[in-house]
Amino acid sequence: MASEMQRYDTNEDDEEMGMDVKEEDDEDEDDEEKNTAMHAIAGFDGVHGSNSSSRFQHHQQYQEQPTPGGSRRCRPLEEKERTKLRERQRRAITAKILAGLRRHGNYNLRVRADINDVISALAREAGWVVLPDGTTFPSRSQPQGTGSAGGTPTTMVTSSSSHIPTQHIPPGSLKGVPSGFQNTDDQSACQMKSVLVPTSSPYDSSSTARSQTSAMVADGLDTQNDPFLVGSADSIDKQVVDIHTKLQERDFAGTPYIPVYVMLPLGVINMKSELVDADGLVKQLRVLKSINVDGVMVDCWWGIVEANAPQDYNWNGYKLLFQVVREHKLKIKVVMSFHECGGNIGDDVCIPLPHWVSEVGRSNPDIYFTDRAGRRNPECLSWGIDKERVLRGRTAVEVYFDYMRSFRVEFDEFFEDGIISMVEVGLGPCGELRYPSNPVKHGWRYPGVGEFQCYDQYLLKNLRKAAEARGHSFWARGPDNAGSYNSRPQETGFFCDGGDYDGYYGRFFLNWYSHVLIDHADRVLSLAKLAFDGTCIAAKLSGIHWWYKTASHAAELTAGFYNPSNRDGYVVIAAMLKKHGAALNFKCAEMRMLEEPVDFCDALGDPEGLAWQVLNAAWDVSLPVCSENALLCHDRGGYNCLLEKAKPLNDPDGKHIFAFTYLRLSPLLMDGQNYMEFERFVKRMHGEAVLEFPS
């Protein structure tokens, strides 16, 4: 299709070029007529019956004669041919450029676009405003005297789709892409619920530019031999980002102060509950304090502290760590980590669940989450045993409460001094509130929909009770047509458009499945509020963004978020957190997805759309929202994206996140340019003015 469009553009351009050449020929004919008239007056061609060929030969001879001033009145035929050839070459190059922009960049350029249209499209994509008369200025400012004839300011909307609210996009069409080019999944994306999205960051446009360049290289364009892509893709990407950063960087001076915490390494405390490399940590903390970082975040691992026997807690290593942090006048965000570490992205250590819990699991594997095939996941305990006394005479909820109460007693002085500023309570795998629906150890790979994790005997018993209470005991089962871990929505009968997920049984099952998640968080947070009375508590929510643009939101459904296109599944979670006065720590992949090898478009993922849906649900009930980066970040472009999401531009209510945690402390962060960029990021998070230096 793209090649047909390119041929069509080339043909149109050739027609236009032909018209220009024809105009030149017409001008030559006019000159010929004038010359003939002059000859007639002078008597050179006095006989009206002279043949046309002799007149043409005489005109050709005259055409080659110099004028008295020494210049030629008409160009020689050879020069005209060279001009036509250069014009054809120029138009061929233009046609290739326009076709490439349409194909790879979704630029909505008209058929007979000229260089002004191209420059205008690129300027708008960079976040600038281009008026019809050519006046161009940044979107944050207005030119002097710009407005309508009556003095009313002119309102302009940029062409970038990231700046257009979803309700303004015509059904069945995307930016610059006719509806005929969309697949069925794209059409179903148009049925997605409306989410209020603030004005997009100018850094999103730079991200788009780099993504487009990468796509061009991936499509097989020769960057070495093609004159339009001279140089490597990396150099092109760097130039694009540098240009956009210099043109569009936002000034955060005077914006609200957002505390910045740095996550400590996962293995800062070893399995013997000892502080690892105390001297190295002291040096790093000293550096963090010098750039006014507010504090650090540390995981308190259940598998380390209560490793050997029930209620036998060993906090020694954490006590020494907290004392070192306090000496540097830094605050501490603590995570009650009731899950294992290892096997997930970014895990560089292995910390299993307590040994005594594993012994219970060997005799009763139903304490773990289980998939349809009967595979157990020992990453965390099943929510089905929250009220079952299967852990040496205690329920899972009692085990969590005893652990939190022990921590509160042991570190009372740090609570009283305000050193511990927040306690985040682990509620599932990776400490996040979700089912372990996409375990890599069981073969899941992005962007599979995952599998439901409700097949241990305790959750099945809960499902059976719910089905009987509904009056349909045959509904006491999991879906049998939901595919496998790596299925795609349209490959299953349950998640496809119009699938069983939206039928009577599907709605019953998904409602039950999501309520088990909410009930678990409700129980644990109520006890956390009791244990840490007077201290802010928080829960982490992960961003399952792939298949977000489909009707079913399949990956979210298997993770426990009942959030299809016709239902908001995050409002009820926000209401539950609000009841306990808990903050929401939301982690989702940033829009700066440029260096990731995964294809978010192919998975119909929308991290930004999901993020704003969750933020709106939280802010609507005045819930404090914390955030952390999901991907490693050391460059200015990435920091700018984080800043824009933390402090949305032009928000009428001035909403912003409550605190930010940087992932994670490492020698790489302290290295040269990385350190300078991070220091600059911290200042801007604090709302301070920064000095410019080359990025």
Q: 222 to each of 89, 212, 226, 232, 233, how far by Cα in Å? A: 20, 15, 5, 10, 10
- Spatial CA neighbour of 262 closest among 586, 588, 640, 659: 659
Helix/strand/coil (H/E/C) assignment for every residue in 332-386: EEEEEECCCECCCCCCCCCECCCHHHHHHHHHCHHHEEECCCCCEEEEEECHHHC
- Spatial CA neighbour of 418 closest among 325, 288, 282: 325
- Please answer whether residues 617 and 568 qualify as being in contact, where contact means their C-beta atoms are separated by less than 8 angstroms: yes
Q: 298 to each of 441, 523, 533, 630, 664, how far by Cα in Å? A: 26, 24, 20, 16, 11
State the helix-helix crossing angle for 636-646 and 672-685, rounded to 10 degrees.
20
**Of residues 125, 340, 388, 432, which has the active-site annotation?**
432
Instruction: State which amino acid sits at residue 302.
Output: W
- Spatial CA neighbour of 518 closest among 559, 490, 550: 559
User: DSSP string covering 282-297, please?
Assistant: HHHHHHHHHTT--EEE
- Spatial CA neighbour of 561 closest among 576, 533, 542: 542
Instruction: State which amino acid sits at residue 151.
Output: G
Task: Give dist(CA 360, CA 340) in Å, integer.
Answer: 16
23 catalytic, yes or no?
no
Helix/strand/coil (H/E/C) assignment for every residue in 128-176: EEECCCCCEEECCCCCCCCCCCCCCCCCCCCCCHHHCCHHHCCCCCECC
Beta bridge partner(s), residue 376: 370
628 catalytic, yes or no?
yes
What value does the CA radius of gyration of the chain take, rounded to a whole number of Å? 33
**Of residues 249, 556, 628, 677, which has the active-site annotation?**
628
Give catalytic residue positions: 432, 628
